[in-house]
Structure 1
Amino acid sequence: MSPAATSTHTPIFDGHNDTLLKLEIDAGAGRERDFFQRSQRGHMDLPRARDGGFAGGLFAMFVPSNPDQDFSKPFNPRDPANYAELPQPDALAFTHSLMARAFRLERASGGRMKICRNAAEIRSAMQQGQVAISLHMEGAEAIDGDFHALEVLYAAGLRSLGPVWSRKNIFADGVPMAFPSSPDTGPGLTSAGRALVTACNQLKILIDLSHLTEKGFWDVASITDAPLVASHSNAHALCASARNLTDRQLDAIRESRGLVGLNFHVAFLREDGQHRSATALDVIARHAAYLVERLGEDHVGLGSDFDGCMPPADLKDVSRLQYLLSAFRNAGMTDAMVEKIAWKNWLRVLEETQS
């Protein structure tokens, strides 16, 4: 059985959003809003998710160095406040607050949202019209070197993990928000990072390669027994941001039966690397076509970065997701290809990773 859909909506499973962080920061600033009521703030709430056919995704738990930073707007990459390393106990406490927020959303949803711990649960939730939440950690600052926190967070529902955000921690170095730049910006995994990859393989936690340096990418590729996945990255050949993937990296992802999730952030899409919301959806369609050509149609998905990016104006929030799928069709993709990119490829790679 396929996920619930209408005649005009293809269901979408999205590989990355920062909505939990956005809700947490807004609440801390005295601007808490009801996720179940339509709003013009942020990129997502449940009514707008329904409008766009958003059926679920990887909900990131990210601990910012600077909690006052609005990650949907340009920020100074040279400001050390945005990249300061975080003490593990502090990062774990903030991660707990984000995970608790996800649990509260599930409880308050009256069955409209479901935290899912494997691909079968995601598929079931989507079939029943529930928004499927898969908990993801963006940057492993909350994890101690003995992996006690990893075990506990896994038991609570963590199923996907990126060793780094764009800053250094005990596991690896992250790529800066640099343009133009190669992703080969620093060292790879530390010994603790190598052990983290092995621990994630044993627990069947997906390892996310977005934000890793190129050396870190190849270190993971040499260790892991799971498909290589970059949840929210684009093609470096089309936009020379350090956050994007080279052709050689894309080839390795294809060979591993992995996946790349298209990131909607304009500075990772545009050939000039500019933060300009006046960016046509055709630009995303070009990245999608390039990735399909390089990876094959079974290895491309969506990784919006909603609530953590500046998307094109025509994709201003989650309610506009079907506009993007229309842009894919207008660029020559078949309905079957669009359906794979929209949700099927993510469920396939999650099934292969978590089983």
Structure 2
Amino acid sequence: MIPVFDGHNDVLSKLLRARDGAESRFLTGAPEMQVDLPRARASGFAGGLCAIWVSTPDQTLDDQGDLPRVPQESALQQTIAQAALLQRIVRRSGGAVRLCRSAAEIRAAMAEGSFAAVFHVEGIEAATEDLDLLHVLHAAGLRTLGPVWSRPNIFAHGVPFVMGHDPDLGGGLTEAGKDLVRLCNELRILVDLSHMNDAGFWDVAKISDAPLVASHSNAFALCPHSRNATDRQLDAIRETGGLIGLNFGVRFLHPEGIRDPEMGLDVMLRHIDYLVERVGIDHVGLGSDFDGTFMSRHIGDVSGVQRLLEALRAAGYDEEDLAKIAHRNWIATLERAWGQ
């Protein structure tokens, strides 16, 4: 099996929502999850960006069509709980899961058969404008960060979920958001552009000196959903030596954006073909969104990643190309962004 290092999963938030004993269930097997350690090992799923995502009970859209903001106190509580869960999983795994802060640590963990976990935050609602929390999280291992999820916060305007509309929805970075990006550059925290609207994307592009990365997004040209990347955005990702990770979610792949459980792997292949043609083979990876979105039964859970790679092999991708898409491109991009 070709090892897979993946650009996005929501294991931490889903584990905490399910029930107690979260770390034990991840380590020994959690059938309600799309990823747990036993299935990851059996599937060659060698690691990835493990996201902290915070929820709000109120999902009612406001007058502008946006999801409500998460109160900072609630976001902070949920962020700490998930960060602590990641630390407990690492500590109790006996070396089977490693928290990685550099590309060298990722490669070492993969070489030794450990799950290489990178601490990621998807929407930094827990932080205030002073950004003190960012220093604390960085010390705890945070190395990648998305300023927003698909709702507004004090840093930017997350792109709403809209089929049939491009990402040009809402304003760009606030002054606090610009300060956030500058501090991320200083601390060598990669800024993730998935869930960022068009204005925010270009604000980050103006400020950041790091590769532009959309960890779990697809081609807008094939699926016109606001969460997907336009050709112009893809060109900027290529020009900065960045990366786009294929999101396995059906509604971000299907040309009509419908939740089709029978959607075939051929649709995913079309997106990969398009992305490779647009940005080049060195700038495409996987960003599954496991445990965070609805997927076709042909992928289902982590066991489906090798089926996708086999489909790519059958479509003419050679072993070098497959290794790049499966893990090498992600690790190389993180190495450039982190400087180590």
Give the TM-score of the pair, scaled to structure 2: 0.96
Pairs within 5 Å for 1:173-252: 173-252=157-236
Q: Which amino acid aligns with 2:264?
A: A
Q: Does 1:149 pair with 2:144?
A: no
What corresponds to 1:19 in structure 2?
Answer: 11
Instruction: Note the C-alpha offset of 1:39.
Output: 3.6
Distance in 2 (CA, whole Å) between partners of 1:42 and 1:106 is 18
Instruction: Note the C-alpha offset of 1:338.
Output: 0.8
Distance in 1 (CA, whole Å) between partners of 2:32 and 2:283 is 32
Distance in 2 (CA, whole Å) between partners of 1:236 and 1:323 is 24
SS across alignment from 2:19: helix
Instruction: Note the C-alpha offset of 1:177.
Output: 1.0
Give the TM-score of the pair, scaled to structure 1: 0.92
Question: Aligned pairs, how many?
Answer: 339
**2:62–2:68: 8 Å Cα contact kept in structure 1?**
no
The percent identity for this pair of structures is: 53
**2:185–2:208: 8 Å Cα contact kept in structure 1?**
yes
Instruction: Note the C-alpha offset of 1:166.
Output: 0.3
SS across alignment from 1:99: helix
Instruction: Note the C-alpha offset of 1:89.
Output: 2.5
**1:64–1:82: 8 Å Cα contact kept in structure 2?**
no
Correspondent of 2:309 among 316, 325, 350: 325
**1:176–1:242: 8 Å Cα contact kept in structure 2?**
yes
Q: Which amino acid aligns with 1:230?
A: A
Correspondent of 1:172 among 156, 161, 167: 156
What corresponds to 1:52 in structure 2?
Answer: 43
Q: Which amino acid aligns with 2:122?
A: E
SS across alignment from 2:25: coil
Correspondent of 1:313 among 282, 292, 297: 297
What corresponds to 2:285 in structure 1?
Answer: 301
- Across the aligned residues of Structure 1 and Structure 2, the Cα RMSD in angstroms comes to 1.9
What corresponds to 1:6 in structure 2?
Answer: none
Distance in 2 (CA, whole Å) between partners of 1:198 and 1:38 is 40
Distance in 1 (CA, whole Å) between partners of 2:259 and 2:269 is 18
Deviations 1:54-104 (A, max 9, x none): 00100000001239x8xxxxxx87899992212222211110100110011
Instruction: Note the C-alpha offset of 1:143.
Output: 1.3
Q: Which amino acid aligns with 2:6?
A: D
Pairs within 5 Å for 1:39-78: 39-66=30-57
SS across alignment from 2:26: coil
SS across alignment from 1:175: coil
Distance in 1 (CA, whole Å) between partners of 2:137 and 2:23 is 25
Q: Which amino acid aligns with 2:254?
A: R
Distance in 2 (CA, whole Å) between partners of 1:203 and 1:122 is 19
Q: Does 1:292 pair with 2:276?
A: yes
Instruction: Note the C-alpha offset of 1:144.
Output: 1.2
SS across alignment from 2:56: coil
Seen in structure 2, the aligned counterparts of structure 1 residues 216 and 50 have a Cα distance that, compared at 3 Å, is same
Q: Which runs of 4+ in 1 moved over 2 A?
A: 30-33, 36-40, 76-83
Deviations 1:104-139 (A, max 9, x none): 111111110001111111111111110011000000
SS across alignment from 2:159: coil
Seen in structure 2, the aligned counterparts of structure 1 residues 80 and 92 have a Cα distance that, compared at 3 Å, is farther
Q: Which amino acid aligns with 1:262?
A: L
Q: Which amino acid aligns with 2:13?
A: L
Q: Which amino acid aligns with 2:49?
A: L
**1:135–1:159: 8 Å Cα contact kept in structure 2?**
yes
